[in-house]
Amino acid sequence: MIRLFAAAALCACACAAVAQAFPTKPIRFIVPFPPGGGNDTMARAFGQKMTEGFTQQVVIDNRAGAGGNIGAETAARALPDGYTLFLGGVGSHGINPGLQKVPYDPIADFAPISLIASAPLVIVVPLSLPAKTVGDLIQLARAKPGALNYASSGNGTIAHLSAELLNSMAKIKLEHVPYKGTGPALTDLLGGPVQLMFNSAVAMLPQVRTGKLRALAVTSAKRLAALPEVPTVAESGVPGYEAASWYGVLAPAKTPRSIIMKLNGEIVRIAQLPDVRERLAADGADPIGSSPEAFAAHIKRELARWARVIEEAHIPRQ
């Protein structure tokens, strides 16, 4: 028994020493999308501050492809030593596992560190559509089932499924028209073939502020700082509705708890920095910062929520 206690104490001391020394070399931060997008911007904002805080370089490694699955698999198979991090999100740890067979387990293969930000979508319509609120939109949809088309940047995206969630909760039928990216979808929204669109706030803000599109609501649980006058969908008559892109930092499973907690403390600190909060707000995102346990619970809720939406919308698995 004494030997067991001694061994446990020795292990605890060793783990503490490892955490105290960490990091002693550069950290690879895998982003599962190309440079220049929202995911990449988020990773670089936090990576830069982590480099300053740890005095070790955080290197952004863009591993794009397969809707984020390539980057996720790369991270899942990396050594669990704290020197490989992964920027997870609503795709890799929310939607993709319900849509297709992914080459990783979103729960078993990862150790959550912290949820870092949430970026709601905005529901926008052309000025020609006689709907000034979500309530008006629902009435129009009920009056003419299937007559309203919504654009998205592609099948299986958060924009697509956010609209399907509204279909389910409001008992309406909006017809999906997928596009290869936001640009073509926005062109047709302004031109008339589609009547509404769910998209990121940062992409829609210029169109709303110049009066080309009308913002009906934001999809988050609370109003967006960049659009304080625009209500949430829940405020607009669909209680309980909430959908958003989100970002979080994960490590490979079995990364030592002591290192997870050191990384967590640094990431939570960064999320509260005024310049980081200002930068994220400009991109239509709300910084968060959470415990590993809260992030793990969030992932489980998101996996269940989007699997249910996919099933109810009869979206075929790819």
Residue 230 domain flag: no
**Which residue blocks in the chain are alpha helix, DSSP H?**
2-21, 38-54, 69-76, 96-99, 134-143, 158-170, 182-191, 201-209, 257-271, 274-282, 292-312
| Exposed/middle/buried for residue 255 (C-beta within 10 Å: 0-12, 13-18, 19+) | buried
pLDDT tens for 146-204 read: 999 999 988 899 999 999 999 999 999 999 999 988 889 989 999 878 999 999 887 88
Closest CA to 167 of 187, 149, 194: 149
On whether residue 281 sits in a domain, the answer given is yes
232 belongs to a structural domain: no
Residue 258 in domain: yes
Q: Considering only residues 282 and 214, tell me which one the structure prediction assigns the higher pLDDT.
A: 214
CATH of residue 24's domain is: 3.40.190.150
pLDDT score of 203:
83
User: 14 and 112: one domain?
Assistant: yes
107 in the same domain as 165: no
Write down the pLDDT at residue 17.
56
Q: Do 103 and 34 reside in the same domain of the chain?
A: yes
Q: Which of 200, 218, 236 is the last residue of a domain?
A: 218
Question: Mean pLDDT throughout 267-277?
Answer: 96
Quick one: pLDDT at residue 169?
96
Q: What's the CATH code of the domain at 171?
A: 3.40.190.10
Position 16 confidence tier, pLDDT thresholds 50, 70, 90: low
Tally of domains within the chain:
2
What does the alpha-carbon distance between residue 102 and residue 94 come to, in Å, rounded to a whole number? 12
pLDDT at 140: 96
| Per-residue pLDDT band at 1 (split at 50, 70, 90) | low
Residues 82 and 164 in one domain: no
The whole-number average pLDDT for the span 217-243 is 93
Contact of 114 with 290, CB cutoff 8 Å:
yes
112 shares a domain with 140:
no
Alpha carbon distance 160, 171 (integer Å) = 16
**Based on the domain organization, do 92 and 155 belong to the same domain?**
no
Q: In the predicted model, is pLDDT for residue 18 greater than 80?
A: no
pLDDT tens for each residue of 59-111: 999 999 998 999 999 999 999 999 999 999 999 999 999 999 999 999 999 99
User: Are residues 83 and 125 both part of a single domain?
Assistant: no
Please, which pLDDT band fits residue 216 given cuts at 50, 70 and 90? Answer: very high
Is 38 a member of any domain?
yes
* 69-90 as b/e: b if 16+ CB within 10 A: bbbbbbbbebebbbbbbbbbbb
User: Domain of 285?
Assistant: 10-119+244-312
Is residue 74 located within the same domain as residue 131? no
Q: Is the pLDDT at 218 greater than 60, yes or no?
A: yes
